[in-house]
Amino acid sequence: MADPEKKFYGVFDTEGRATAFYISDIYPPQSNGDRNTAIPAAAVEITNEQWQELLANPQARFVDGAIVYAKPPMPGSQYSWGPTLVEVVGTG
Which amino acid type is present at position 89?
V
Residue-range definition of the domain harbouring residue 60: 8-91
Nearest to 55 by CA among 10, 5, 6: 10
How many domains would you assign to the chain? 1
- Rounded CA-CA distance 51/63 in Å is 13
| pTM for the model | 0.72
The closest of 79, 46, 80, 84 to 68, measured between CA atoms, is: 84
For the four alpha carbons of 36, 5, 7 and 91, in that order, the dihedral sign comes to negative
- The answer to whether residue 85 is domain-embedded is yes
Non-local CB neighbours of 87 within 8 Å, separated by 6+ positions: 68, 69
Interval 18-66: pLDDT, tens? 999 999 999 999 999 899 999 999 999 999 999 999 999 988 999 999 9
Residue 61 lies in a domain: yes
Give the pLDDT confidence of 4-26 residue by residue, as tens digits: 589 999 999 999 999 999 999 99
75 assigned to some structural domain: yes
